[in-house]
Structure 1
Amino acid sequence: MGPPAAAVDHPGSGARPTAEELAAAADQTIPDVITSGLDVLFVGINPGLWSAATGWHFARPGNRFWPALHRGGFTPRRLHPSEQSLLPGLGLGITNMVARASARADELTAEELIAGGAILTDKVARYRPAWVAVVGVTAYRIGFARPRAGFGPQPELLAGARLWVLPNPSGLNAHFTPETLGVAFGELRAAVAGG
């Protein structure tokens, strides 16, 4: 896993990384958007190639994270992935279960997800968010040995943080529409607001 791929500098422009930039992004990492004491730390499965090529989390067009974040009431407007640095000011952050980028999350091994769960636990202990929201139930089930876990609040804490599992916002997840993802994010928002 090498250093982060060079960021493509066109914030908000919608310009697409080239095929060469996407290919070069495989196995790269991107920095977390994190600081101490967040209200919610969102945890992706791993960066996609588009994210690794741009340096922005959930950057691929068609990924529904940013619209769901807004529909769920976490942001005052729909943010572009290039605006991810605004999140800590809203009490939000982003990290991943597995740091390395891949074309698809199903390219990850169970061992990587389990190791990622341990790294995430250490990160949560260090940064102390109030809530941790894993976006992807399968990654959560494997990474934390919780084969029967479902969506929503989890009974256990993660390094002292309350834990919630959200649907994967990838455009490949046909089980959830933009509207139902917004509802799922809104349920977490209500729980966070309720303390």
Structure 2
Amino acid sequence: MVPSATRRGPRPTREELAAAADRTIPDVIAPGLDVLFVGINPGLWSAATGWHFARPGNRFWPALHRGGFTPRQLHPSEQGELLDCGLGITNMVARASARADELTADELLAGADLLTAKVARYRPRWVAVVGVTAYRIGFTRPKAAFGPQPELLAGARLWVLPNPSGLNAHFTVATLGGAFAELRAATTAG
């Protein structure tokens, strides 16, 4: 039976969300992407639906559109359309949790190693990590800031964006859109 959460309209039930803990969801990825966006890990809503950044209140999809990456705001269920735009999504840590702060430093370090191997395999031009704290821990860069990073990741240029989770109250949809637009400008400049 297909859970109600895998259809576009209905919300996952409390039971479906609880059952989604520790699940993984497939990457949206292909060789030679322009940008591979890297979430911290799937939330329970994403794991219940199978869609990245699926929880209502997550600002990834509006920021992606406002930043100029997509011609219209996509619904998480339309994530496969990203490939036609030269974009993809993966996560630092594959297992779903209610909050990113439930992850251990060891999980983020191991996730950074897996991400590096994935980038070496798929060869995106840019890698954009959405979450500076996860980036700092996973890549042992405690002073890393938002924006372009000085090092490459398996040959790809590297950028750190703010976490678009609704739990990150420091950024609005407009400021997130501006941060995504800075990355978009860099990707079109070279």
TM range (shorter): over 0.9
Q: Which runs of 4+ in 1 moved over 2 A?
A: 5-9
Q: Is the 8 A contact 1:7 1:53 kept in 2?
A: no
2:5 to 4, 8, 11: 8
Which stretches in structure 2 are left out of the alignment for 5+ residues?
A: none
Aligned to 1:117: 112
Counterpart for residue 98 of structure 1: 93
Alpha-carbon distance in structure 1 between the residues aligned to 2:186 and 2:156: 13
Alignment partner of 1:45 is 2:40: yes
Pick from 138, 141, 149: which aligns with 1:143? 138
Identity value in percent: 81
Number of matched pairs: 189
Aligned to 1:55: 50
Distance 1:7 1:144, change over 3 A: farther
Q: Secondary structure of 1:8's match?
A: helix
Q: CA RMSD of the aligned region, Å?
A: 1.1
Tell me, yes or no, if structure 1 residue 171 matches structure 2 residue 166: yes
**How high is the TM-score relative to the length of structure 1?**
0.95
Q: Tell me if the contact between 2:145 and 2:160 (Cα under 8 Å) persists in the aligned partners.
A: yes
Q: Deviations over 1:29-55 (max 9, x none)?
A: 000000000000000000000000000
CA contact (8 A) 1:114 1:144 kept: yes
Q: Is the 8 A contact 2:6 2:48 kept in 1?
A: no
2:128 corresponds to 1:133: yes
Alpha-carbon displacement from aligned partner over 1:124-161 (angstroms, at most 9, x marks no partner): 00000000000000000000000000000000000000
* 1:187 paired residue among 170, 179, 182: 182
Q: Which consecutive residues of structure 1, in runs of 5 or more, have no partner in the other structure?
A: none
In structure 2, give the amino acid aligned to 1:137: V
Mapped partners of 1:21, 1:39: distance in 2? 34
- Give the Cα separation in 2 of the matches to 1:84 and 1:6: 19
Separation of aligned partners in 2, 1:47 and 1:36: 22
For 1:154-169, list aligned pairs within 5 A: 154-169=149-164
CA distance in 1, matches of 2:83, 2:113: 23
TM-score calculated relative to the size of structure 2: 0.98
Tell me the equivalent position of 1:152: 147
